[in-house]
Chain A
Amino acid sequence: MQHERKIRVLIAKPGLDSHDRGAKVVARALRDAGMEVIYTGLRQTPELIAETALQEDVDVVGLSILSGAHKALFPRIMDLLKKKGLTDVMVFAGGIIPQEDLAEMKKLGIKEIFGPGTTTEAIIRYVLDNVPKKT
């Protein structure tokens, strides 16, 4: 039990969203699926998110955003993750991200985007199937 490797996930809310109900639902679902989930609350800056991902040595980062600021914030976040050497971290996003922006976000390195209506089962499945193996 003690040396079982657990998947560590950071659920982060960049920008100025005023509520985090969705992010918390996802966080709890991942916890119930046996993962260790770090949730850092509202109004996170890209710097805070990247540094947290580094200190917590997470396997996955889930970005939750509702305000439409993803085009401004995601590139900065992905850039900082790269600068800190966190290239083996899988990043996914959720919230309100319009269809027409999906391709651009994926080009930044965000592996998958879960829009409204996605089930927690789907997200859990995705993480379990795609989490990178850490060396």
Chain B
Amino acid sequence: MTRTEEIVHGVLAGNRRSIARAITIIENEPLKAHEIIAAIYPRAGKAHVIGLTGSGGAGKSTLIEKIVREYRQKGKTVGVVAVDPTSPFTGGAFLGDRIRMQELSTDEGVFIRSMANRNYPGGLAKATKDAVKILDAAGKDVILVETVGAGQSEVEIIKVAQTIVLIHAPGLGDEIQAIKAGLMEIADIFVVNKADRENADKTMMDIQAMLQLNNNGKPWKPPILKTVALSGEGVPQLVEKLEEHRHFIEEDTERKKKLLKATAEAELAEAIKERTVSSILDDLRKEGKFEELLQKILKREIDPASAAEKLLNERLRKH
């Protein structure tokens, strides 16, 4: 067996070292990553993937720790992927989400991995999607993905998660109205954490008001739940709702098929685009015209879009 085959074998057997090594390869080695994903893909697709997002300071990590404990009590195994931002200036990252969940590290039924978003737009690293597949194939029943609390267009999560939870806390200085419409529309469950604070009820009412405005007759009515992550209050009810949503998407087979198809199509398109672009770009770079046109752009003799047209037309004529 090659080293990669060994790792695949280990992942499918749920071996933690193999899972860890596989995720690292996903992040760093595109060729081997491809090999691994190709091998495990048939065994993925069983886990309930839940995306959790919200502004920084809302208490996501603390809440996740309690959610994991609740699932463990129900006998489920859990994977957690915690994503934090990469500094655009240094390329480094401080991955501190694990601090709040650290006690879970010695629970054999839990696997936690911290990932830096490496500046992928939308706050979710490309590798995160593949890491989720690995945890899925390794047999985790539930996978929680915690994203960068930008609170803005975290719509990227939708491509990974089946259930999306938006976590807010009163007094963050971020009024509900400031949360971009995109997020409000994709969340399946809303949570007001730190519900022991004064403005919790007002926050709930604000969310309710916004939901009423957006109400477009969809079959799932997003509930708004109150939690106090530090004490665990409200967490059992939250997990019940998560399970309810899972059953909802499972039962509605028409909708489920549509969703799965859309996701598969998006991934296929993405894979095609990636390969097409890099192969064409490589070709164009090798041809003399690329440098020449680059110089013309610098001299402001031509704009980048027109230069691109020239290069591509030239290429079409050749083939």
Binding site for B on A (CB under 8 A): 1-6, 8, 27-28, 30-41, 44, 47-48, 51-52, 54-57, 84-85, 134-135
Contact = CB atoms under 8 A, between A and B. Distances in A.
Interface in B87-123: 87, 90-96, 98-99, 102-103, 105-106, 111-114, 116, 118-120
B9 interface: no
B112 A38 contact: no
B105 A36 contact: no
A30 B94 CA distance: 9
Contacts, number: 97
Contacts of B112: 55
Contacts of B127: 2
Contacts of A30: 92
Interface residues of B, number: 37
Interface in B14-30: 16-17, 19-21, 23-24, 27-30
B146 to A, nearest CB: 14
A39 B118 CA distance: 18
Nearest to A42: B99
Interface in B193-224: none
B105 A55 contact: yes
A20 to B, nearest CB: 10
Nearest to B31: A3
B3 A56 contact: no
B90 A34 contact: yes
Contacts of B98: 38-40, 52, 56
A27 B119 CA distance: 20
A40 B27 CA distance: 21
Contacts of A27: 94
A48 B272 CA distance: 42
Given A55-B113, A56-B114, A135-B3, A36 B99 contact: no
B118 to A, nearest CB: 6
Contacts of A51: 105-106
B48 interface: no
B126 interface: yes
Contacts of B102: 40-41, 44, 48, 52
A44 B91 CA distance: 28
Contacts of A38: 95-96, 98, 114
> B23, B28, B30 — which one has the most chain A CB atoms within 10 A of its CB?
B28
8 contacts: A3-B28, A4-B91, A30-B92, A31-B94, A33-B90, A34-B91, A48-B103, A84-B17
B91 A37 contact: no
B95 A36 contact: yes
A111 B118 CA distance: 29
B17 A48 contact: no
